[in-house]
Amino acid sequence: MASTLGSTPDFNKILYTPLAEADPEVQNIIDKETWRQFSGLELIASENLTSLATMQANGSILTNKYSEGLPDHRYYGGNEWIDELEVLCRKRALQAFHLDPAKWGVNVQPYSGSTANFAALTALLQPQDRLMGLGLPDGGHLTHGYYTAKKKMTASSIYFQSLPYSIDHSNQLIDYKGLATQARIFKPRLIICGASAYPRDWDYAELRKTADEHGAFLMADIAHTSGLVAAGELADPFQYCDVVTTTTHKTLRGPRAGLIFFRKDSKYADDLEKRVNDAVFPACQGGPHNNTIAGIATALHQACQPEWKAYAKQVIKNAQALAETLVAKDYKLQTNGTDNHLVLWDLRPLKLTGSKLEKLCDLVGITINKNAVAGDTSAQVPGGIRLGTSALTSRNMLEDDIKQVGEFLNRAVQIALVLQKEAGSKLLKDFVRVATQGGEGLEGYKQVKELKKEVQEFARKWPLPGVDVSDLKRPAGISEDD
């Protein structure tokens, strides 16, 4: 019986063929995306650049294995190494957040932040129970109970009754008093804190007081800030919360997934461990993605090292340097600055929309996203943009480099104002037309080209984690000026 590669039947030969040969189309898309990440400035606050080691773990053979259940209690055989991996990942998760295993446990199986949140709600609440989360237009996340006048938008408002709290529009800080007052009427079973677009830290002690007044659970979703919390650079939600959820791919710099931490000694339930584990599987998910769990374990290992604190400190210093650069140019930032990795820029005084600046930045290789700012009247036309420094810090940039990025953003705004004038209408499509096609006697188009060239030259001076950039070539399908 032959057992060498020579005996591989034709139908299996593809199993040993590298991607570039097996599927050049997908390889080319990966190459183009690599080129884009190398040539541009990544300022999306919810993104980061994970490590080579994490990508290797995430792309590993562990993707082959089914392991429904928990270590030592699986519905499939062959899980001895997968059990070792999941136990290691859980240990590192508790270690990264300085948690006592006698008081806290963690489920590392959620596929993403949204599924982690829905599993957490499933664990804590009965259908139609009441929850309160920060409203989406005030910086909260969809999965914290968001709904509109016409539609319940996510499972968190479809299956539960939700009442959002808000920021105080006079200072754009969380309105803890307003929340307490609303809670006295609404009587929530759960209060959710944490946000997708809030540049300041949280007062968890104040939230705990309000939750206790109603015997409610307190849950923090620290998806955005978990890397900074692990480093001890932001307030510690674990001191006050019953459950803490997070994504693993934002400031924590791991693969795309979620974690749910649960308190073993919550005063409102002594069975949170079972509730959370049962909610993840079988209530909300199937088999865990073991390759991703390996990537999480690797990322958490990095977050346990002394260098992690230095990285987290630099992310914050960079966000503050970016804020100072913009404020020095008289631009308006929500709360006038930041405590964390993100800056919320209110463009309304400039009579510019978030959509236009996002589009213009895309054209010059700066990746940002439009975002609602306090007082926006239309969710369809957000008045600001959100900027984050996690990814650029992962490319080694320090404060002076970030100030240069602030200068590029300033130029982008000035060009957007020129284009808006040249477009002769308020419509985004006219703005895009003059930005991409120009026209007789129009200046904005030329300025877009110039800025794009400068941004590319600047961006390509920096390394890209997981990629040997010295060997990087412009892939097929990317034009000379991209």
Element (H, E) at 219: strand 217-221
Cα-Cα-Cα-Cα dihedral of 178, 181, 182, 184, to 10°?
160
| Candidate ranges 2-10, 221-229, 260-268, 370-378; the one touching ligand PLP (CB under 6 A) | 221-229
Residue 312 or 416 having the CB closest to ligand PLP: 312
| Catalytic site includes residue 250 | yes
**Contact yes or no for 143/174 (Cβ under 8 A):** no
Does residue 200 bind ligand PLP (CB under 6 A)?
A: no
Residue 44 or 472 having the CB closest to ligand PLP: 44
Reduced DSSP (H G I as helix, E B as strand, rest coil) percent helix, strand, coil of the chain, to 5 = 50, 15, 40
Does residue 221 bind ligand PLP (CB under 6 A)?
A: yes
d(CA 97, CA 90): 11
Does residue 224 bind ligand PLP (CB under 6 A)?
A: yes
Helix/strand/coil for 261 = strand
Among residues 58, 67, 109, 114, the one that binds ligand PLP under rule CB under 6 A = 114
Q: From the CB of residue 12, how many other CB atoms can be counted at a distance below 10 Å?
A: 9
Catalytic residue among 74, 130, 250, 253: 250
DSSP letter at 44 equals -
Residue 45 or 451 having the CB closest to ligand PLP: 45
Residue 194 or 438 having the CB closest to ligand PLP: 194
Helix/strand/coil for 170 = coil
| Candidate ranges 56-64, 119-127, 189-197, 468-476; the one touching ligand PLP (CB under 6 A) | 189-197
Does residue 341 bind ligand PLP (CB under 6 A)?
A: no
Does residue 223 bind ligand PLP (CB under 6 A)?
A: yes
| Catalytic site includes residue 80 | no
Query: In the chain, what's the furthest Cα-to-Cα distance?
Result: 79
| Catalytic site includes residue 307 | no
| Candidate ranges 147-155, 192-200, 418-426, 459-467; the one touching ligand PLP (CB under 6 A) | 192-200
**Contact letters (x/-) for ligand PLP, 231-270, by CB under 6 A?**
----------------x----------x------------
| Candidate ranges 188-196, 308-316, 372-380, 398-406; the one touching ligand PLP (CB under 6 A) | 188-196
d(CA 353, CA 413): 10
Strand blocks (E) in 257-394: 258-263, 332-333, 342-346, 366-367, 369-371, 384-388
Structure token digits, residue 60? 């590993």
Catalytic residue among 54, 210, 225, 247: 247
**Contact yes or no for 109/120 (Cβ under 8 A):** no
Least distance (Å) from ligand PLP to the CB of residue 465? Answer: 20
**Contact yes or no for 413/447 (Cβ under 8 A):** no
| Catalytic site includes residue 275 | no
| Catalytic site includes residue 311 | no
C-alpha distances out from residue 481 to 28, 31, 36, 39, 57, Å: 18, 16, 12, 11, 35
**Contact letters (x/-) for ligand PLP, 127-166, by CB under 6 A?**
--------------x-x-----------------------
Least distance (Å) from ligand PLP to the CB of residue 43? Answer: 15
Binding residues for ligand PLP, rule: CB under 6 A, are 46, 112-114, 117, 141, 143, 194-196, 221, 223-224, 247, 258
Active site residues: 66, 68, 221, 247, 250, 256
